[in-house]
Every structure is written in structure tokens, then in C-alpha cells.
Chain A
Amino acid sequence: MPALVTPPPVPPKTVYYFGTCLIDLFYPAAGLAGMELLKRQGLRVVFPQSQSCCGQPAYNSGHKDEAREVARAQLDAFPEDWPIVVPSGSCAGMMRVHYPDLFLGDRDHARAIAFAGRVYELSWFLVHVLGLEAKLVDRGEKVKVTWHGSCHSMREMGVVDEPKRLLRGLANVTLVENPREKECCGFGGTFAVRQPEISAAMVADKIAAIGETGATRVVSGDCGCLMNIGGALDKAGKPTQAQHLAEFLLERCHGQ
């Protein structure tokens, strides 16, 4: 059951940004784009330098103790009562949905519950808190894109239509929906390594379905999916580019 997410009770002036470890190492431009979008809406964006990983890789691998210690470091890194905006539905889902259980019976349980309640997926925050959908000014050329919804974004964070609302808010962007948009791309963290053949079959089907849309770009809100889908598109020599929603929005509206 997806988390029931509601906007912060008071419109925030300051937000925290949790960049995620994958973005930190491989897609920092996408991470920075999300911060720029927030900043351009007049928010003070705080990026704690002591943040690292949400803990999901160890948690999903059955190593809860290690996951909890890394999660605890995030509780320490985001002490103020500000919203924590995350450019990944998967990491956001880990923190919002799983932290309370992860800390059950731990001295930091209360802190984990409070932290979890402050976590927002970026596109959801842009739509429901900042109303960005109505404020978008598209300065880009005409382009045809398709959307890939990440599993945890949809099924843990309840983010289904928000990214597509943002894409539809761009005048020169045509959104072509992929009938298999909601099917897992086969990344699954360690799954891609533990079951490489099934993962490969899944991403092959995914890029075929993306190809059928005729889009020149596939946009998503999760860099795990993008690494998988984009990597497969590139390896197969397909022209379609994979891009994070934040980077796409910033490029369209602010030419960056």
C-alpha cells in the first residue's frame, strides 16, 4: 500500500535535499537540477554534506543491522524539522515507508518515524507543494518523450500522475504513453546481479516498448531505472536518450 503523503502543514521556506548515493556518483547533474528547480521557486535548499545512502541496498539484501546504522547517519544528517525532498521514488520509499519498521524497538524509533514523515518525492513536491505544473514555461524545441514510472515511486510513494502532469505542462513536449509504462524495468538493485538473465530479459522488453512509442527521450524519476534503461538503450545502439525528470525540466524551462 502506498504511503499516504500530505503536504507539510505550513508552506516551507527551507527544504532539505537528499541527493541519493547513485546520483552522487553517477548522475550529479540530475541531482543538481532538482535543487535548482526548488531554488528557483524561492526556497532555501539545504544539502547536508554528511548525507550518504538511504540504506536500501543492505536492507533489501537482508542485512538490516548494517542498513539501520547507515539510516541512523541520515537521521543525524537531517536534524531540523524541514521537508526532505528526494529525486528518487525508490530512496524516498525506503525512508518514508521502511524507516519506521527498520527502527522498531531501537532507541531512534521516534526519530525515524518523524524523519519518515518529512520525506517527499521530488515530482510530488513540485506539483502538490509548489504548484510548478502551472508555472512551467517551455523554451525548448518540439520533442516527443515517453515516461517510465519507477515501481517504488508508484507503489510505495503513490506518485503516478505527478511527473506526467509536469511533462504535459510543457507546451512543446508531446508525451507518448508506453502501454507497459508500469512494468518493472528489471533493475531491482542486487537483482540485476543475482538474476542477470531475467533482468536482461526485462530490460530488453522495456527498451523495445519504449522504442515503439517513437519517443526520442525516455524520462524517469529514478536513476536506478535510468542507469538500467539508458545503459541498455546505449548498448543496443538505440538513439533514444534516458534522462531524469529534474534535468529535463530544467533544460526545457531554463536552458540548463
Chain B
Amino acid sequence: MGNDFSSRAHDALNNPQLRRNFRRAMDGLMSKRAVQFADRDDWAALRARGAAIKARALARLPDLLEEFEQKARANGIIVHWAETTADANSIVLGILTDHGAKRVIKGKSMVSEEMHLNAHLEAHGITAVESDLGEYIIQLAGEAPSHIVMPCIHKNKGEIARLFTDNIAGQPYTEDVDALTAAARKVLRREFAQADAGLSGVNFLVAETGSLVLIENEGNGRLSTTLPPLHIAVTGIEKLVEKLDDVAPLLALLPRSATGQPITTYVNMITSPRKAGEKDGPRQVHLVLLDNGRSRVYADLQLRDTLRCIRCGACMNHCPVYARVGGHTYGSVYPGPIGKILTPQLAGLDCAGDLPHASTLCNACVEVCPVQIPIADILVRLRTEAAQPSQAPGVKGAGSNASMVENAVWKGWQAMNASPAVYAAATRSLAVIGNLIPAAAPLLRQWTSVRSKPKFAGKTLHQLARDKGYDNE
């Protein structure tokens, strides 16, 4: 995963249609969000509250997980623990097999993407159908999500119209959005009715009540979790919040940050399977709690902040790198800034050590993160762990980018810049002879392909300051 980011970026940058699709979509999302948070003071207060809620939950995560499990069990929800994605896949497969389930209807779930669940089920003769419109579209295309909230944001109307005509029997070519939505709806209604089980993700787990909170806009989440006789939810252990009251501020942040909506069309709170005397709802509800490296992230007090994420995607919507290369370039389930810090921690720096460098550290993501994750600081930390690992337990594959050449370069840089005498001698010489360095020299070559060569000034500011009589002390 992730190690040929640059070559995928090359392809994406040379795909004008893809670049137009992303640029237009991200511009729209940024302006919608800006309208929602027009009052700077309100925004500052709300995000501080959101950050505190998640930080407070993480501070007691082991306790809260136990509390949640007890409450959920008491409510009749069956809780499973999965250390790895392989564990989670076999748990889900086991439940489905026990029920003789052959067709699964899915609400949107990034953790199921992390598990590559659909492929696992397919290999065991179970068909999983995505019911979120965006997920349905990319499932037809055989692609992975390019955005965690809007999985098919890389496609435009024309591409979707062609996909539907090619894959849905009797579907004429149309770019009319309502007609396309209606076509998908017709297919999916049948799937909902036929499904043996529904599978979903979770936005928040409430320890106090043992509830699963799930937000969505299409009603497909509600159908997936209520219509079939069996509901399986999969999620990461970091989704815990302590109290029911903690949910409202996070709901005030998540949709506004994600899509610029004041609230999603549906907010589902699932606290138990169908009770005696109730006319609908699944007869069994299972929850699979996935670790997959999250405990390791949790163990490091700085990196732990990564787990505050509520998966709104605002960081990618505002990322100047993401907007130009799109989500698939990252080669991982979670793209954009959050992916750049999460993927190397889950998969290891040995697998995704280049991702933390795919950033200008412009801090646009930090500015909009609704739970104040210090993404730029964590990027720098991961760069440091990759180059010169600390003794911290948090990072898999630490030291995998260590390079003797780079170490020597930075030692040389230190020798020059930590000694005033060496610095003065070096800069004075460079100011005079630096312009002799050819534009095609290593490192300078990339720079000068689209920019003029920087010109050394002849005299340094140190020299000019002295010439002009500025005091030295």
C-alpha cells in the first residue's frame, strides 16, 4: 500500500477529466462548509467542544469499551472483538453462515472497506450489494472509494450514465440525475427486499446507553439496519463516546464539516434488536469491534489524537494535494490528510512511509478539522519516526525510511548552520559562486522544470546589514 504514490500521482495529474471532477467537487464542498461555519466564534467554540468530547472518551477508552459492551449486551446486541481484519472477516462470515445468509445489503462502511469484506464474502459464495448510491456506483465500476464520505466523487454525470447503461438491464443513457437516482433506487429496492442480512458501519458508539449512532442521507442505512432479519455492524474501537449528550455536538460538527448540511436526512440510533411485540427491526444485531492497529496508535500519547477522527472528510475537501491527485492516488482505504497519518500507523511506515511526505504542511486540514487533530504535527512526527525512530511503541515500521545519504546531508546542514563561522564562510561563497550551479543539477532539475533558477544575490543580508551599519548586538 502507498509506496508508489508518486507514480499514481503522475497518472492522476495527467488526467484532465479527473482533475476537473475533483477541483469542481472540492470547491463546492469548501464553499458549502464555509456557509455553515460563517461565525468564527461559534465555530471555534463548537470544535473545541467536539475535540474535548473525543479526547475525554479516548482518555478512558478501555473502561468505556467495557461499559459499552455491558450495556449493549444487556440490550440484546451481540458484541464481537476482532484484533485483525482477518478476524473481523471470519466473524462476519461465521454469523452469516450460521444464518444461512446468501445476500447481504450494505450501508456505507469504511471499516468494511478496511476489511475488504466484500471480496472475502464473495470468495465464500455470499453476495454483498452496496446500497449507498455512491458506493453502488463504484461497486458497479469495480473501484474503491476515492473519498470517505463521497466515494464516487471522482466520477462525473457522463461517466455514471455510461456505467448504468452498461450494467443495468434496460437502462437508457441519460445524464439526468433524478433519472439515474431512480434507476439505482429501483435496483436497490429489490435488493433490500431480498437481502438475508444488512451490514452497516457506525458513526458513534455511546457507552452510557450501549447505542449505535449511524447517520446517512438516503434512508439506505435505515433500511439496511431494519428490514433484513439480521443486522451486523462493523466499526473501529475508537468510535466510542461516553454519554448520549456527547452525540449532539458531534452531530452539529460532522455533516456541516462533511457536506455543508446542517444535519443529515437520517440519524439512526440503534439500541437493541426487535423486542417482543414490535412489528419490525432485525431479530439479531451483532457488532464487530475492530482493532487493526488502533491499540498501537492509542499507546502513543501524541499519535492517539489520530483516533479522534469522526470521518467527516473536511481535511481532504480542503487539501490542495488531494484536490489535484484524487483519492485513489493514496493507494489506501483512507485518502487525504487523515489517510496520510492513519494509513502509515495502521499499515506501518514500511508499507506507507511515503504518505507523510505527500504534504506541503500547509495546515489547511488542521484549520478545518472539527475535532482539532494536529494533522501537520503528526505528519512531522511520522516523518521523524520513519527517518530516525524514537523508542516509542506507537509506530510500526519505524526507521524504514532511514537513509545514510540523507543523514549525511542533514549532518552537513547542521555543521553549516550551527556554527556562525562556517555559515558565514559558506553563504558568502555561495552568494558569489552559487549561480554557477547548472539548472540541470540534481534536485535543482525538478525545480527548474517549471520555474526559473533562483539567483544568488552576490552579497548576503549579513554583509549588507554590516555595510549599512546595523548593530550586531
Chain A residues with a Cβ under 8 A of chain B:
1, 17, 19, 21, 23-29, 31-32, 35, 44-53, 55, 57-66, 69-70, 72-73, 77, 80, 101, 151-152, 155-156, 182-184, 186-205, 227-228, 230-232, 234-236
The answer to whether B372 has its CB under 8 Å from any CB of chain A is yes
> Which residues does chain B contribute within 8 Å of A49, judged by CB atoms?
420, 424, 462, 465-466, 472
> Which residues does chain B contribute within 8 Å of A55, judged by CB atoms?
417
Q: How many chain B residues touch the partner (CB < 8 A)?
A: 72
The answer to whether B388 has its CB under 8 Å from any CB of chain A is yes
Closest A-chain residue to B358, C-beta based? A195
The answer to whether B62 has its CB under 8 Å from any CB of chain A is no
Contact with A along B354-368 (1 / 0, CB 8 A): 000111111110110
Given contacts A58-B413, A59-B380, contact A234 B456 (CB under 8 A): no
* Assembled-state Cα–Cα distance A80/B472 (Å): 12
* B461→A24 contact, CB < 8 A: yes
* B471→A46 contact, CB < 8 A: yes
Q: Which 6 A-B pairs have the closest CB atoms?
A: A188-B360, A231-B451, A62-B383, A196-B446, A184-B362, A62-B387
Give the Cβ gap from A137 to chain B, nearest Cβ, in Å.
Answer: 23
Q: Contacting A73 at CB < 8 Å: which of B407, B418, B451, B461?
A: B418
* Assembled-state Cα–Cα distance A46/B431 (Å): 22
Closest A-chain residue to B14, C-beta based? A197
* B363→A155 contact, CB < 8 A: yes
* B361→A197 contact, CB < 8 A: no
* Assembled-state Cα–Cα distance A190/B383 (Å): 12
* B465→A32 contact, CB < 8 A: yes
* Assembled-state Cα–Cα distance A252/B9 (Å): 43
Given contacts A25-B456, A188-B362, A192-B446, contact A197 B470 (CB under 8 A): no
> Which residues does chain A contribute within 8 Å of B471, judged by CB atoms?
44-47
Best-buried of B325, B372, B414 by chain A (most CB within 10 Å): B414
Given contacts A19-B462, A47-B471, contact A25 B360 (CB under 8 A): no
Given contacts A44-B471, A198-B9, contact A24 B367 (CB under 8 A): no
Given contacts A59-B380, A151-B363, contact A193 B447 (CB under 8 A): yes
Q: Contacting B410 at CB < 8 Å: which of A26, A61, A184, A188?
A: A61
* B364→A203 contact, CB < 8 A: no
> Which residues does chain B contribute within 8 Å of A62, judged by CB atoms?
380, 382-388, 401
Contact with A along B448-470 (1 / 0, CB 8 A): 11111111110111111110101
> Which residues does chain A contribute within 8 Å of B91, judged by CB atoms?
none
> Which residues does chain A contribute within 8 Å of B357, judged by CB atoms?
190-191, 194-195
Q: Contacting B427 at CB < 8 Å: which of A25, A60, A198?
A: A25
7 residue pairs bridging A and B, Cβ less than 8 Å apart:
A60-B380, A183-B364, A197-B9, A230-B452, A231-B453, A234-B451, A235-B448
Given contacts A25-B457, A52-B420, A232-B450, contact A66 B410 (CB under 8 A): yes
* B9→A195 contact, CB < 8 A: yes
* A46→B383 contact, CB < 8 A: no
Closest A-chain residue to B458, C-beta based? A28
* Assembled-state Cα–Cα distance A152/B380 (Å): 15
* A21→B417 contact, CB < 8 A: yes
Give the Cβ gap from A81 to chain B, nearest Cβ, in Å.
Answer: 13
Q: A101-B377, A198-B9 are in contact. List 13 more A-B contacts (CB 8 A).
A: A24-B427, A24-B462, A28-B457, A62-B383, A151-B361, A151-B363, A152-B363, A155-B366, A188-B359, A196-B447, A203-B450, A231-B452, A236-B450
The answer to whether B60 has its CB under 8 Å from any CB of chain A is no
> Which residues does chain A contribute within 8 Å of B430, judged by CB atoms?
25
Chain B residues with a Cβ under 8 A of chain A:
6, 9-10, 13, 320-321, 324-325, 357-364, 366-367, 372, 377, 380, 382-388, 401, 406-407, 410-411, 413-414, 416-420, 423-424, 427, 430-431, 434, 443, 446-457, 459-466, 468, 470-473
Give the Cβ gap from B458 to chain A, nearest Cβ, in Å.
Answer: 9
Closest B-chain residue to A77, C-beta based? B420
> Which residues does chain B contribute within 8 Å of A64, judged by CB atoms?
384, 388
> Which residues does chain A contribute within 8 Å of B450, judged by CB atoms?
200, 203-204, 232, 235-236
* A235→B465 contact, CB < 8 A: no
Give the Cβ gap from A37 to chain B, nearest Cβ, in Å.
Answer: 13
Give the Cβ gap from A238 to chain B, nearest Cβ, in Å.
Answer: 11
Give the Cβ gap from B208 to chain A, nearest Cβ, in Å.
Answer: 30
Closest B-chain residue to A186, C-beta based? B360
Best-buried of A48, A183, A198 by chain B (most CB within 10 Å): A198
Closest A-chain residue to B319, C-beta based? A184
Closest B-chain residue to A232, C-beta based? B451
* A46→B470 contact, CB < 8 A: yes
Give the Cβ gap from B115 to chain A, nearest Cβ, in Å.
Answer: 30
Give the Cβ gap from B466 to chain A, nearest Cβ, in Å.
Answer: 7
Q: Contacting B413 at CB < 8 Å: which of A50, A66, A235?
A: A66
* Assembled-state Cα–Cα distance A31/B468 (Å): 12
* B443→A231 contact, CB < 8 A: no
Q: Contacting A198 at CB < 8 Å: which of B13, B384, B388, B462?
A: B13
Closest A-chain residue to B423, C-beta based? A52
* Assembled-state Cα–Cα distance A136/B34 (Å): 34
> Which residues does chain B contribute within 8 Å of A32, judged by CB atoms?
461, 464-465, 468
Closest B-chain residue to A76, C-beta based? B420
* B464→A73 contact, CB < 8 A: no
Give the Cβ gap from A47 to chain B, nearest Cβ, in Å.
Answer: 4
* B359→A191 contact, CB < 8 A: yes
* Assembled-state Cα–Cα distance A43/B410 (Å): 37
* Assembled-state Cα–Cα distance A53/B372 (Å): 30
* B461→A58 contact, CB < 8 A: no
* B360→A70 contact, CB < 8 A: no
Give the Cβ gap from B445 to chain A, nearest Cβ, in Å.
Answer: 9
> Which residues does chain A contribute within 8 Å of B466, judged by CB atoms?
49
> Which residues does chain A contribute within 8 Å of B456, judged by CB atoms?
25-26
> Which residues does chain B contribute within 8 Å of A51, judged by CB atoms?
420
Closest B-chain residue to A23, C-beta based? B461
* B427→A66 contact, CB < 8 A: no
Give the Cβ gap from B471 to chain A, nearest Cβ, in Å.
Answer: 5
Given contacts A73-B419, A197-B6, contact A46 B464 (CB under 8 A): no
